[in-house]
Structure 1
Amino acid sequence: MATFIIGLCILVGGGYLYGHFVERVFEPDDRETPAYSKQDGVDYVPMATWRNALINLLNIAGTGPILGPIQGILFGPLAFIAMPLGCVLGGSMHDYFCGMICTREGGEQMPQFVGKYTNKGIYYLYNVFICILLILCGTVFIYTPGDIFDTQILGRSGAATDYVTWIVYTCIFIYYLIATVFPIDKIIGRIYPIFGAILLISAVGIFIAIFAKGYPLTNVWGSWDTVGKFASDGGFNYGAYFGSSPFAANGHHFIPVFFVTVACGILSGFHSTQTSIVSRTIKSEKSGRFVFYDMMLTEGFIAMCWAAGTMAMINLGAKAGGVTMTKDGLFQAMQAGKLVQVNATTVVGVLCKNALGPIGGMIAIIGVIVLPITSGDTALRSVRLTITDTFHLKQNSNAKRLGLAAPIFAVVYVILIWAKMDANGFNTLWRYFGWSNQMMTLFALASVCIYLYAHGKGRFAWMPMMIASFYSFVTCAFIMSQQIGFNLPWNVSYIIAIVWTIFYLFITIHAGKKRANTAPSGQTVAA
């Protein structure tokens, strides 16, 4: 429990101090924001700070800060320290700079921002990359909430052969289409405060239950082997899963696997695509720290709660209403009086009902369903905006927006059908989504670095580059070593990752120094 509390102190205290520092580096002022200067009643719409904050939180908080920590906590209590540190130094800094720079650049979306501060080749590569990621994100965030609703609320099997499964998917699909096409303040701005209340009740409820029920948590300085310590079928040997070295842990390498697994609870490239949407609706630059930086801290808090709750369920064991772990890190739970293997989605229901009881648990499950839905709709909205800005398409009517959204949604539904019908479809989809999500940060952080140089703040380039260098190594080592990538030996993967990281840092800093003597606004890249 003490390690968990220390992690929370790092998150809150560190976030407060570093958040103020990040804000001073950017220097927000009283200039007119795009919400007023480009107001169009569709995407550029002035909205209240509290509403923007809730929208941004729900946009960025998909299943990542839930399913990621559920898997990531198998690495042991070190997760309670790694997550808040990464969130404070990396995730929140990334979200703030991306959101604020897009605001100051006239509400530009990320492809235009990246293109302006890198080059035309990177601009086109990023456009393709971001559209693929967002389409995968939209697909994942139909599949995941649909399955949770189908199995945990309706009590169905969630199988591809069950017609109810497809009815649920289609309902979410239709909502996404409406939210993607209609003005942001008509759909998203009105419904999100309700979703936000459910989300916060869920997270705070689990947080309170951790202390009120005295759930057993493991400390960094204690024994990491808790098998049988709290219950006959409870506990897990986190030390064996982690291994004796962060670089060699029985195939479960802490670096890079943990940081790709947890993702959204620490740092997520997807977030930049969402903060750029909100950059078109904030009334004042000075509200940016609360809307962008602090909402990422809130997501870190959500991730911390789910990680702690999952560890508690593992230590309790299935017979006590939690889950039992196999030596390979597979979840098992009691169903119809039998111990059966389950996935992370089922763990969500187990934790909610154990921590909050039948009624509170049901509310929490609804909150978990809301999270991915409120990220999926804006992910697909971002695809439309990216294509619109790239090809300078007019979107001044519902018919034109629907015409562009229709083919995007057709692709999403085809991928959804494949992922559901193929036995390993979703696992493959999720792994590529997780890796590509982290890859996105390299584009964003490089652009932030160059922006700082171009605006006479090169002395602060270490802020994005410190995090970018780490994730450059993580993403390269991951794709080189995993079966979904090149499946190379770990030592070879690490060497390649080191070389790539040095190259990435060199070209980024070199580009930044070249821009140091150019006009601050840079030149817009033509599509």
Structure 2
Amino acid sequence: MDALVIMILAFAGYLIMYKVYGQYIGKRIFALSGEAQTPSVALEDGVDYVPTKKEVIFGHHFTSIAGTGPIVGPAIAIIWGWVPALVWVFLGSIVMGAVHDFGALIISMRNQGKSISDYTSKYINSRTRFLFFLIVFLELWIVIAIFGLVIAIIFAMYPQSVAAVWVEVPIAMMLGYLVYRKGKSVMALSIWAILLMYVFVFLGPYIPMKMPAVAGIPATGVWTIILLVYAFFASVLPVTTLLQPRDFINSHQLVIAMALLILGVLAASFSGNLEIVAPAVQSAPAQAPPMWPFLFITIACGAISGFHSLVSSGTSAKQVRSEDDSLFVGYGSMLMEGALATLVIIAVAAGIGMGYTTKSGETLTGVAAWTTHYSSWAAAAGLGSKISAFVDGAANMINMLGIPKQFTLAIMAVFVASFAGTTLDTATRIQRYVLSELFTSLKLDFLTGKYAATFLAVSTACILAFATGAGGKGALKLWPLFGAVNQTLAALALIVITLYLKTKGGLKWLVGGIPAVFMSVMTLWAAVMNQFKFGTQHNMLLQTINFVIIIIAVWIVIEGLIKFFSDDDVPLDDAQPVSSS
């Protein structure tokens, strides 16, 4: 099928389903009410609880859930063929991912903005709440430790992106000051902010910045330390100081990047240079695990991702000012991520065929380009390989607009790195919330403050990052677990959403129940297969942690089933926000 036709049909489908299915679950299933008091209003503190315009919070929410996820997942899963990748992204985002994100958001908004791990005790029981905390802590621990390395790798691959990524921080802080302290127009100033940032994007190829080794610590380790220190300060600052304005700038980056990709697809298609060179289906690629169930684990962001429930119930629920805004933020953001993942699939299925340079310097085109890059699972699985497949493929298409490739590479590299940075400090802030809630329940009040909890979040991630040496690559030891952990979290979040909807009567619970069953089966299936693989590799560390994850997941599923079939339902009226404690 022609790449242009794929893009048009997919985008039309997302728009239709937002209007049809999205509006249906918003009005009929979750019964949104613009009159309901939200946590951002009731608990407003100017730091974490801040009523925010839906356009601004959409920018924060989208950039937080996206990161590099909708890029790296499709860029590796396409090894099984572009058709299964596209089908999973399209259907998964509409009936699973968007329901998951929106459900976690609205339930949190009706429970004082608490995290999903905390309000699990209300809809299942306190035992499950503690087990949920363990899964959430593990996921965020890995995310914080690995994303410092992710950004360091992007900086090493594309040194032209460094200046623009870092200059965005003072630009965003100035934007926040002018908007929230001086009352200036956020839209007008954010446009000036993105234009100023893009000055540095286009200067990037002329001022590439490469980090040298410092005191025997290689560049990746140095960047990881710098980024974790940054994450600490970014995560304790009021959301209006850096998080919201920076993410609003990043939302403009998204619009620009997607516009360039769409125009690139149009230009390349009309010139006859854009052909899909990836196979439609490839059920047994070299060295790859089976498509079932691993397709649904490999593509998370873009279809459904457990991390999204943490963003929905961690930061976004504390900022959405009206329930009426929640559908646009929660459901709409997920469909936008599906659209981005669709463009990624086109870039790595067709764009890469327009020109691919091998490590030996040979330039290949067409099917030869794709098969060389995706010659085996091992060849395509590395982080650098996944990112370069998208960046190079996207740059090839955008180059058809007459923009020199050196600038298109800089634009896409800054886009990817900026989103990864958002994920890093959002994950740190969420880990702070999670730890504070846990320590509050354990009566350890001295650890509930934002500085203490954030220091614990960052320091534990730092220990993991440097567990294997000065390169900051320690989290890679646990990275093989991440896909299953993340999707297990998605399944568990859907179980909570299902139980919540059951209290509303009728068959509303099916909206969450069917996706919950599907994701529970797929993730447990993948986790069990991983357990056997780790056994054959004699990897006791991964075997042990994976076994614990399986036990926790099975336990929560059983507890959820018991609760579902019991008559002991939670009260129909949702908790209203009364205090910030």
TM range (shorter): 0.7 to 0.9
- The match for 2:24 is 21
**Secondary structure, aligned partner of 2:466:** helix
Q: Deviations over 1:63-110 (max 9, x none)?
A: 110100100112212222221110000000111111011101221111
Q: Deviations over 1:465-510 (max 9, x none)?
A: 111111111111111113675669xxxxxxxxxxx99998775354
Aligned ranges 1:445-464 → 2 under 5 Å: 445-456=494-505, 458-464=506-512
- The match for 2:240 is 185
Please state if 1:38 is matched with 2:76. Answer: no
- The match for 1:346 is 388
Summarize the Cα distance change of 1:169–1:253 in structure 2 as closer, same or farther, 3 Å threshold. same
User: C-alpha displacement at 1:400, in angstroms?
Assistant: 4.0
**Secondary structure, aligned partner of 1:258:** helix
User: C-alpha displacement at 1:395, in angstroms?
Assistant: 12
User: C-alpha displacement at 1:12, in angstroms?
Assistant: 2.6
Summarize the Cα distance change of 1:209–1:404 in structure 2 as closer, same or farther, 3 Å threshold. same
For 1:414 and 1:502, the matched residues in 2 are separated by 29
Q: Which moved more, 1:5-14 or 1:157-166?
A: 157-166
- The match for 1:255 is 292
**Secondary structure, aligned partner of 1:310:** helix
For 1:341 and 1:402, the matched residues in 2 are separated by 32
- The match for 1:519 is 571
- The match for 1:375 is 423
Of the candidates 328, 331, 340, which is equivalent to residue 302 of structure 1? 340
- Which residue identity is paired with 1:346? S
User: C-alpha displacement at 1:459, in angstroms?
Assistant: 0.9
- The match for 1:430 is 479
Whether the aligned pair in 2 keeps the contact of 1:177 and 1:405 (CA below 8 Å) is yes
**Secondary structure, aligned partner of 2:305:** coil
- The match for 2:227 is 172
Please state if 1:268 is matched with 2:305. Answer: yes
- Which residue identity is paired with 1:291? V
Please state if 1:72 is matched with 2:77. Answer: yes
Aligned ranges 1:85-234 → 2 under 5 Å: 85-153=91-159, 154=208, 163-214=218-269, 216-218=274-276
- Which residue identity is paired with 1:302? L
Summarize the Cα distance change of 1:346–1:249 in structure 2 as closer, same or farther, 3 Å threshold. closer
User: C-alpha displacement at 1:297, in angstroms?
Assistant: 0.6
Q: Deviations over 1:322-381 (max 9, x none)?
A: 65335424558xxxxxxx996213324423432332223311210100111101111111
Whether the aligned pair in 2 keeps the contact of 1:65 and 1:262 (CA below 8 Å) is yes
For 2:348 and 2:211, the matched residues in 1 are separated by 23
For 1:419 and 1:7, the matched residues in 2 are separated by 43
Length-normalised TM-score, structure 2: 0.76
Q: Which moved more, 1:141-150 or 1:87-96?
A: 141-150
- Which residue identity is paired with 2:511? M
User: C-alpha displacement at 1:11, in angstroms?
Assistant: 2.6
Whether the aligned pair in 2 keeps the contact of 1:353 and 1:362 (CA below 8 Å) is no
Whether the aligned pair in 2 keeps the contact of 1:147 and 1:158 (CA below 8 Å) is no
Q: Deviations over 1:172-197 (max 9, x none)?
A: 22221112112222221222211221
- The match for 1:221 is none
Q: Deviations over 1:375-407 (max 9, x none)?
A: 111111111111112222999999942222223
Please state if 1:49 is matched with 2:104. Answer: no
Summarize the Cα distance change of 1:342–1:33 in structure 2 as closer, same or farther, 3 Å threshold. closer
- The match for 1:228 is none
Aligned ranges 1:306-455 → 2 under 5 Å: 306-316=344-354, 318=356, 319-320=363-364, 324-329=372-377, 331=379, 343-356=385-398, 357-392=405-440, 400-418=449-467, 427-455=476-504
Uncovered stretches (5+) of structure 2, i.e. residues with no partner: 160-207, 357-362, 399-404, 537-551
**Secondary structure, aligned partner of 1:459:** coil
Q: Deviations over 1:417-447 (max 9, x none)?
A: 2367689955543321111110101221111
Whether the aligned pair in 2 keeps the contact of 1:275 and 1:292 (CA below 8 Å) is yes
For 2:80 and 2:251, the matched residues in 1 are separated by 30
Whether the aligned pair in 2 keeps the contact of 1:3 and 1:77 (CA below 8 Å) is no
Q: Which moved more, 1:293-302 or 1:446-455?
A: 446-455
For 1:301 and 1:108, the matched residues in 2 are separated by 29
Whether the aligned pair in 1 keeps the contact of 2:217 and 2:470 (CA below 8 Å) is no
Whether the aligned pair in 2 keeps the contact of 1:331 and 1:343 (CA below 8 Å) is yes
Summarize the Cα distance change of 1:158–1:94 in structure 2 as closer, same or farther, 3 Å threshold. farther
Q: Deviations over 1:219-248 (max 9, x none)?
A: xxxxxxxxxxxxxxxx45554x324xxxx9
Whether the aligned pair in 1 keeps the contact of 2:73 and 2:301 (CA below 8 Å) is yes
For 1:145 and 1:510, the matched residues in 2 are separated by 43
For 1:486 and 1:165, the matched residues in 2 are separated by 27
Q: Deviations over 1:239-274 (max 9, x none)?
A: 4x324xxxx998542221111111111001111111
Summarize the Cα distance change of 1:484–1:375 in structure 2 as closer, same or farther, 3 Å threshold. farther
For 1:82 and 1:212, the matched residues in 2 are separated by 27
Length-normalised TM-score, structure 1: 0.83
User: C-alpha displacement at 1:3, in angstroms?
Assistant: 4.1
Q: Deviations over 1:13-54 (max 9, x none)?
A: 223311011102101111111111111222111111111111
- Over the residues paired in the alignment, what is the CA RMSD in angstroms? 3.5
- Which residue identity is paired with 2:60? I
- The match for 1:242 is 283
Q: Deviations over 1:309-329 (max 9, x none)?
A: 011144345225765335424
Whether the aligned pair in 1 keeps the contact of 2:149 and 2:473 (CA below 8 Å) is no
Whether the aligned pair in 1 keeps the contact of 2:53 and 2:320 (CA below 8 Å) is yes
Summarize the Cα distance change of 1:285–1:485 in structure 2 as closer, same or farther, 3 Å threshold. farther
Q: Which moved more, 1:512-521 or 1:112-121?
A: 512-521
- How many correspondences in the alignment? 485
Whether the aligned pair in 2 keeps the contact of 1:453 and 1:516 (CA below 8 Å) is no
For 1:119 and 1:399, the matched residues in 2 are separated by 23
For 1:83 and 1:47, the matched residues in 2 are separated by 29
Summarize the Cα distance change of 1:460–1:88 in structure 2 as closer, same or farther, 3 Å threshold. same
**Secondary structure, aligned partner of 1:41:** coil
For 1:84 and 1:437, the matched residues in 2 are separated by 19
Q: Which moved more, 1:147-156 or 1:74-83?
A: 147-156
